[in-house]
Structure 1
Amino acid sequence: MAAKQAHFALAPTAAQSGYRVKSFETVGSTNAEALDAARADDTGRCWFVSDHQQTGRGRRGRPWQTERGNLAASLLIVDDLDLKATATLGFVAGLALHDALSALIPDADLAVALDGDARRRFELKWPNDVLAGGAKLSGILLESTKLPNGRQATSIGWGVNVVTHPGDTEFPATSLRALGSSADAGDVFLALTDAWAENHAVWNGASGLDAIRARWLERASGLGGQVAVRIDGRVARGIFETIDSDCRFVIREDDGRLTHITAGDVHFGAVASARAI
């Protein structure tokens, strides 16, 4: 049965904070729509959302197609931040979705008991995935461009498996529907806009990134466990120690040295122990 077209509305907290929303029945890429709007002089704080995305992208240009009923949402931010500061918004984005899902989906609504601790039902995998029971539920992608007026436009994109999930992925994937939830894309979007407004206020507040980093670590997948990351032509193996003040991934390698990683594909558990990644 075809999924019913979702209704997309901002949470009152988001509307009161000056955010806007533009929804699409079908869209090529919500990130592309957001950046095109910025080039056409949109001032930002605008959400672009659909439950059917046809040409979305993940990290490193990987395709991310949003089947009808799933959520594709991008938030346009136009500001004067440098790229280093902008990159940390990805951690705000992960926190926002984690908090939205935790608020939207109480334990009783999940057919699968993911964890005895409700806070751990959903976890954040560095740098930009949200997991449920160890399986990928969402990916987050930031894309930026410099505008003619010198300001920077950034599109923060979320792809959330609401009703379906791919079965031929490198890592296990799942969807809210597979977990027993009846929430639709509109429900997730409403909760996400509320949680974004809250977490962005923290990021923009007195404690800033330090507070976001602490919140993120409380929800981190694999913290303290075996991990492997391919970097600079080699595979770094060791223990996931923390993320540093710049939100880089920190491994305590087997020889005891600390390695700070800016980008890479992270493997945990048994996969991390394999010889080839």
Structure 2
Amino acid sequence: MKIGIIGTGNMGKIIIEALIESKAISPSHLHITNRSLKKAEDIKEKFRNVNIARTNEDVISSSDLVFICVKPHDVYDVIQENKKNFSKDKCVVSITSPVSVNQLESLLPCSCARFIPSITNRALSGVSLLTYGSHCSDKWRRELTKIAGHISTPVEIDENVTRVASDIVSCGPAFFSYVTQRFIDAAVEVTEIDHETATVLASEMLVGLGDLLKKNIYTLPTLQEKVCVKGGVTGIGISVMERELGDVFEKLFEATQEKFVDDIEGTKSQFGV
């Protein structure tokens, strides 16, 4: 099977590197392109057998499975300009949440799916979110799930939870990185610990926390129970967080949902559905 990647920006590059390093695909079976070919050429310097195509049409024609890794408002143009090249036997995958599989299917005769990656997939870890079109063949459902399984834990989701699932899986690393950075900065500000030491301690703590969860040694609630001794330091800290955080996370999800509505309206105006 040959895989095409249209768009080698941040997420496109992550998918390429993860697929190759996990051995999900041989570099020689990968066809890539980008609006600025320099980004694609940089990838070829690392993986010399990767095929660089000059145009989107060349990638589509050379590939069985095509990932469209461009900005939401650019997906429609990529499809419209190359409709004749998407034969029925191919599978087209969007990686952006505002473009639904129904919108892809409204224009294309081939199997369609959505694959929302996470930056954690670069470490061959975390979750990837899959949604299949109603006309997506069983063959392509199996193939895409298998490919996603090489670099992540694939989870199939319904259209109605796309935004919140993406917030948790795809945006979550940035959200919790921000919280962790604030945690580190506060430690440095209030105490005598230096920034480098605080960063190492916090980073390794997160890695260890992930291992505990991954190995099913503890759940999130039991982790708090084990560490939070009644009347102890951790309990005091949790009390501060309960008091000060308030409804910050509710507001976060409200804000991302509002932005998602705006993004969807933009793609609806293009696709007409």
Q: What range is the shorter-chain TM-score in?
A: under 0.3
Higher relative contact order (CA 8 A, sep 6+): 1
Q: Where is the strand percentage greater, Structure 1 or Structure 2?
A: 1
Q: Where is the helix percentage greater, Structure 1 or Structure 2?
A: 2
TM-score, with structure 1 as normaliser: 0.25
